[in-house]
Amino acid sequence: MKYDSTAISQESPVSEKLPKESPLPPAPVTLKDRIKGSPTLTTLARWLLMPANEYRPRWWVRTFWNRLKHKRGDGSVIRPTNRMDVFPYNRFEIGEKTIIEDFCTVNNAVGDVIIGNRTLIGMSNVIIGPVTLGNHILFAQNVVLSALNHNFEDVTKPIADQGFSTKPIRVDDGVWIGANAVVVPGIHIGRNAVVAAGSVVTKDVPPYTVVVGNPARPMKQYNFDTQQWEKI
């Protein structure tokens, strides 16, 4: 006797025996979603967090709320002369024994700022998120990492009225960035790379590579076979 799959499927369809899946419940609406969806609540939230015509948090946010919200590793140091423009609605984290030296500006208003362990942020640096820094990183003086760009496509409007865009910056473990260097939005600097002083980094930097100039170009790379830094 031959097996008639058609007859069986017609008499007792498998689909009728399977339990019907219930629809997934809608995702819960968070307070952050409610604020973003209401112009009135957005305006109120901004007024509570920052003074009018300023782009820094109010005193009570810096002194109380941020201490409860943001994570600081054991032994980390943030010098009191720094301008810490960090807000509670985005992440700011600093790892163990990391130091942010005097006269720096750190801003997470438009994206998270995450700094790993044993990293040194030199004097007068500027870091505007979203930026993620690894461990054992060295930044010299006056280094700028800005993941923010102002839009300027519409020439009929002031650039200040056209909004902004962001592209995350990522710096891996062991990187050294020299004085007065600039890293533009969207850049990834690989492990143990070196950015020479005064360089403007407009392209990703491979691991174990030295880049120099404006725009920064690869000049040396570490050869693991010869165990030497070699010119490219």
CA distances from 177 to 113, 207, 215, 222 (A): 18, 13, 15, 17
As a whole number, mean pLDDT of residues 34-48 equals 68
- Residue 85's nearest CA partner among 114, 56, 59, 46 is 56
What is residue 59's predicted lDDT score, i.e. its pLDDT?
Answer: 76
Residue 120 lies in a domain: yes
Query: Considering all CA atoms of the chain, what is the largest pairwise distance in Å, rounded to the nearest integer?
Result: 90
- Domain membership of residue 32 (yes or no) is no
* pLDDT per residue as tens digits for the range 59-73: 777 777 777 788 999
Beta bridge partners of 195: 177, 211
Total tally of structural domains belonging to the chain: 1
- What percentage of the chain has pLDDT greater than the value 70? 81
Q: What is the pLDDT of residue 65?
A: 75
- Give the whole-angstrom CA distance, residue 232 versus residue 183: 22
The answer to whether the beta carbons of residues 191 and 224 sit under 8 Å apart is no
Confidence of residue 35 (pLDDT cuts 50, 70, 90): low
The domain in which residue 214 lies consists of 41-231
Residue 144 is assigned to a structural domain of this protein: yes
Predicted local distance difference test score (pLDDT) of residue 47: 66
Is 136's pLDDT higher than 60?
A: yes
Classify each residue of 99-113 as buried b or exposed e, where b means 16 or more C-beta atoms within 10 Å of its C-beta. Answer: bbbebbbbbbbebbb
* 153, part of any domain: yes
Residue 79 pLDDT: 96
Structural domain includes residue 150: yes
pLDDT in tens, 68-110: 788 999 999 999 999 999 988 899 999 999 999 999 999 999 9
Q: What are the catalytic residues?
A: 150
Residue 15 lies in a domain: no
Please indicate, yes or no, if residue 50 is contained in any of the structural domains.
Answer: yes
pLDDT of residue 48: 72
Q: How many CB atoms lie within 10 A of CB 226?
A: 8
Answer yes or no: is 162 within a domain. Answer: yes
Indicate which CATH number applies to the domain containing 115: 2.160.10.10
pLDDT of residue 39: 73
Helices (H), the chain: 5-11, 14-17, 31-36, 39-49, 59-60, 66-69
* Whether residue 137 has pLDDT greater than 90: yes
Evaluated on CA atoms 139, 145, 123, 111, the torsion sign reads: negative
> In the predicted model, what is the mean pLDDT of the chain?
87
pLDDT tier for residue 153 given thresholds of 50, 70 and 90: very high
pLDDT band at 34 (very low <50, low <70, confident <90, very high): low
For residue 2, pLDDT over 60 is answered with no
